[in-house]
Structure formats: structure tokens, C-alpha cells
Amino acid sequence: MLLRYFYDEKLAHASYMVGCQQKGEAVIVDPMRNIEPYIQVAKKEKMNIVGALETHIHADFVAGSRELADRFGAKLYLSNEGDEDWKYQNLDGIPHQLLKDGDKFELGRLTFEVMHTPGHTPESISFLLTDGAAADKPIGIFTGDFVFAGDIGRPDLLEKAAGIQGTADAGAKVMYKSVERFKKLPDYLQVWPAHGAGSACGKALGAIPSSTVGYEKQFNWAMKIDNEVEFVKALLDGQPEPPYYFAVMKHVNKVGIGLIKDIPEVQSITSIDEVDRLIAAGNQVIDTRDAGSFANGHVKGTMNVPFNNSFTNWMGWIVNYEEPLYLLADPEKLEEMLIALRSIGIDNVVAYADAADMIKQAAELDSYENVTPLKAKELMEQEDVAVLDVRNLTEYQEGHIEGAQHIMVGTLKNRLDEVPAEKKLIVQCQAGGRSAIAASILKANGYHDLVNMAGGYAQWTKDVKN
């Protein structure tokens, strides 16, 4: 048996290649949209990719199953659990098999058995894997967003992201039953989840790539609660705000999305005058440089989302999917950026400009100041200022600067009418990164009397609060 692990750090997403070496065939479990890494490994291992398995209709990335079907004729193995709202659509002409609890299918000597594990979503399934060449019992289970290392999948996405009211509590109760069933599995079974630390599909995911049923039963907080009422309360408490794009992904993965090969080529812009015209016309132009460089000097009207491991998440929050997108970027990183954006369905990137070149061409640059917490305190004492806390709600509730107004950074663009317009703004988060993004959004929308508090609330508690 061949088992390979793939990890997208920007999405905290794990996928797997499972192959029968005797037959020379492999399937991909919860594939990402960029299928090139699978192709490279398949060639190296002399495998033909013949299938794609999905544990559920994902909310945080575009699944690559249809890409695999188009490129290789791969067969899609998809859940047929849940009600009519959670059935896959537009599968005509695509080889596929719809699955229910207890169903089995084979790949050479390998056997996959379906286990319905609802709670995160109604149609969620897991795959038990048995290597018939070595054993007559499963070696492990692909749990998708059901069980993670140290955590379990959140049941509130349908309500918070998709707007289906009343589903969070019901999902948590169903999740309790799924967890109880999971706890009856053999302790030796390996657990292969679809996400790691940093994913918004849970609240306390561990950073290790895999676990075992026995380990999770001992140390996963959710496995220790044997009372349904306590379990539901603990599961729903403290879940982070789901990015806006999650609702888009649910739709995309349910009905399908265009193939990458059909996306128009991204054009190049070489003139700052053209960039200025785009901004003046109300287009969304994102500067992808690091926050420090942007603060020191940027093209007026641009927003800043640095190209780092958080890039995909914040772009999913901030970008309007229905409008064209323009980037100021390092040309050498453009292809990697497009892969990241397309992984969450942002396909409408019309053009880009070399960020460094645009800065050189600009007749005048905008900027904002970064201040220390001690300087921020001094401003509060000397001026009539407003403190804007852009962290998650749970962080704000655990402790915040007295009088600070809370608007989570991902929602800021849609809540500008709540921002005080007549006062100087001190923008802060936990460490200074998210508040830098918030400062750029505010600057792009006409709020120029502001500073960003470097070091954030964490540094404030050290330098000021204590």
C-alpha cells in the first residue's frame, strides 16, 4: 500500500494519495484544486490516478475532484447521506459513485468502507481503509472534518456561514452521537484528518499530521464529555467567526466550478496611471507586499493583504467574488498567489502590476504610522481618540483595552458605517498583523487619521496593563 500526505499551509488543509502498488492505481482523498503535486508523486511512484474521495461538501476550499475527473477520468466517490439540500449536483458525464453508511469499494487489495459521521455537516462521511495484502482489519480512518488531532469539526458553519438558522444546536447533538460511535472504534486505528492547526473548521486543532483513535479518546477534549448537554455547550462555545467565503465554497463544491484550464490569462499592467484609473473607478486593488513596506508607502486607495500563510484566509474575507480583482505583486510570486486564490474560488483576477515598479512610478504615496502600546496610551491621554479592536470576538471577550470598540477585521469592509469618523483611530489586534490589514482597509475607504498599534494587545498587556 502507498500512502502519501499533502499539506497546504495557507489553508491548513491535508489531502492524501492512497495507492495499490500491485495494481499501479491510486485515489486522492479530499483533493485540493491544484492537482499538480499529486501528478508529480503519481509519476514518481508509477501510479495512475483513478479516483477522488470526498468526505463532505467542503466549505473552506475548492475540491479538486472535478479537476482529476477532467484530467484522468478519475471516478468521484461522494456522500449520498443527508437531506436534499446536501446532495452533489451537476455530475452528468462525470464518473461517480454515491455512498451511504456501510458501503464498500475496492482498489486492488485495498478496501474502503464508508462510515456516516454527521455533525460538522449532515452528509459528512469517513473512510475506513483496510490493506488486504497485509491484514483483514482497517489500518486507519480518513475523518475529513469530523475528528482532528485534538479537536472535532464545528457544527455551526451551516448557521453562521450558510445562514441556515437553527442548525448549530442540532448539528452539535448529531456530532455527539457520531463521536460516541467513533469512540467504539479500535484504539490502534490511525486517524487521518483533513485539516491541521490554523483551520477555521474547528477551534483547537493540533499541529500534528495524524493521530490514533486511542490517543484521541484519551486527550481530545471532545472525547472526554459523556453528557450530551455539556458536550453541545462546550462544542458551540468559542467557535471563531467563519470567513465570508465559506458560504461561497459550500455552493461551489455542491454544484461545481469551472476548470482551471478555462480561466482567462491574467494580464500585466505596467503604468501607474492605469492603476490609478482602476482605483478611481472603484475596483478592488490589493497590494500583497509585507505590512511594514505598505505602511511606509503605498498607492493611495489600495488595500494590503500580505502574501504569507494567512493570505488565502484574509483574501476570502475581504475580496468581493462578484467583482474583478487586481493585484500589486512580486511577479516571481504571482503564480503561487494565483494557486492560493483559485484554491478558494477567486478566479476573477483580471490583471496584476509589479508592486515595486508601481511604488517607483507613483508621484505621491500614502502611508500610516505604527506606534508602540506606550505611545498609544499617550495618545489616549492627550487626544480624543477611538480604539478599534479587530480581533475575533472570543479574543475581545477574554480581555480588551477599556472602551475599545470591537469590529472583527474580516467584517470591517462591510461595517464601515460603525467606525467613528470624527476621531483619531488607534487600530489594534493581538499582535499587529490583522490590525495592519484593517488599517489598509480604513485608509482605502477615506479614514486617514489613524495609527496601527504594533505588538497589539499582547504587547499592551506587558507594557501598559501590567
Please state the pTM of the whole predicted model. 0.94
Q: What is the DSSP string of 194-237?
A: SB-TT-TTSSS--SSS-EEHHHHHHH-GGGG---HHHHHHHHHT
What's the grid cell of residue 184? 467504539
Q: What is the DSSP string of 314-378?
A: HHHHH--TTS-EEEEE-GGGHHHHHHHHHTTT---EEEEEEHHHHHHH-SS-B--EEE-HHHHHH
pLDDT of residue 206: 85
190 by Cβ neighbours in 10 Å (0-12 / 13-18 / 19+) ranks as: middle
The per-residue pLDDT string of the chain (466 residues; one tens digit each, 9 = 90 and over) reads 999 999 999 999 999 999 999 999 999 999 999 999 999 999 999 999 999 999 999 999 999 999 999 999 999 999 999 988 889 999 999 999 999 999 999 999 999 999 999 999 999 999 999 999 899 999 999 999 999 999 999 998 877 766 666 788 999 999 999 999 999 999 999 999 999 988 888 887 888 999 999 999 999 999 999 999 999 999 999 888 888 888 889 889 999 999 999 999 999 999 999 999 999 999 999 999 999 999 999 999 999 999 999 999 999 999 999 999 999 999 999 999 999 999 999 999 999 999 999 999 999 999 999 999 999 999 999 989 999 999 999 999 999 999 999 999 999 999 999 999 899 999 999 999 999 999 999 999 999 999 999 999 999 999 997 6
Measuring CA to CA, how many Å separate 15 from each of 29, 94, 196, 226, 455? 6, 21, 11, 31, 35
Please name every residue paired with 151 in a beta bridge, in sequence order, or none if there are none.
148
pLDDT of residue 242: 85
Indicate if 369-465 has the same CATH topology as 2-255. no
What's the grid cell of residue 301? 486607495
Cα–Cα nearest to 37, from 66, 65, 60, 5: 5
End-to-end CA distance of the chain, in Å?
A: 57
Three-class secondary structure assignment of 247-295: HHHHHHHHHCCCCHHHCCCCEEECCHHHHHHHHHCCCEEEECCCHHHHH
Q: Quick one: fold of 2-255?
A: Metallo-beta-lactamase; Chain A (3.60.15)
Q: Which CATH superfamily is domain 369-465 in?
A: Rhodanese-like domain (3.40.250.10)
What does the domain layout of the chain look like in residue ranges?
2-255, 263-361, 369-465
Cβ atoms < 10 Å from Cβ of 282: 8
Q: Which CATH architecture has domain 263-361?
A: 3-Layer(aba) Sandwich (3.40)
- pLDDT > 90: what percent of the chain? 89
Cα–Cα nearest to 453, from 432, 424, 433: 432
The distance of Cα 193 from the centroid of its chain, to the nearest Å, equals: 15
Residue with cell 448537554: 229
Beta-carbon contacts of residue 436 (< 8 Å; ≥ 6 apart): 291, 294, 295, 304, 306, 452
The alpha-carbon radius of gyration of the chain (Å, integer) is 24
pLDDT of residue 378: 95
d(CA 345, CA 327): 16
pLDDT of residue 159: 73
The answer to whether residues 199 and 205 touch, using CB atoms and an 8 Å cutoff, is: yes
Cβ atoms < 10 Å from Cβ of 209: 12
